[in-house]
Structure 1
């Protein structure tokens, strides 16, 4: 009886870890999309970069997303102003999310 109970607790704990990782992946996904949109608005001069609040948002997005991009940028060649690292990070995050939700979660539930 105790083995069944501990297995259930273990499965519940693992599902909580998977849910937490899903939340982290979703937040990272949102920040990457927001950073890309912000950089386009900045590049096309749609937003006023002299505004202190806008500048603070831009710096915050940069500081939050740059650690995700930096390892990818080391291996990408210079493409003349086109940065593909956000796209590659999004693809990697998607594969991690897919693996967590199909393989790991279904193994725990099935």
Structure 2
């Protein structure tokens, strides 16, 4: 019975988000790369629950994803897709910003 109680207490914690900048960097590097069509990069990030600003103005498409942390507030992951200087429809560079977390306590 005690084992069952410990398992029941641990399950809600199993899905908790922990801040890991290196993991985010590796994920983004595997998902989007400079030289790919901007539309394809945005689609790939949206599949992974990112919300992207698809305005045609400016040279940067900002993509963010909010991750909830148990009792500690939310964290925002941000990836900037910088358009190529030669073509506005191509990713020229990918900038992965530092994960920002709200301080709930």
User: Which TM-score applies when normalising by structure 1?
Assistant: 0.32
Structure with more relative contact order (C-alpha pairs < 8 Å, separation 6 or more): 1
Q: In terms of Rg, which structure is larger? A: 1
TM-score for both structures, normalised by structure 2: 0.33
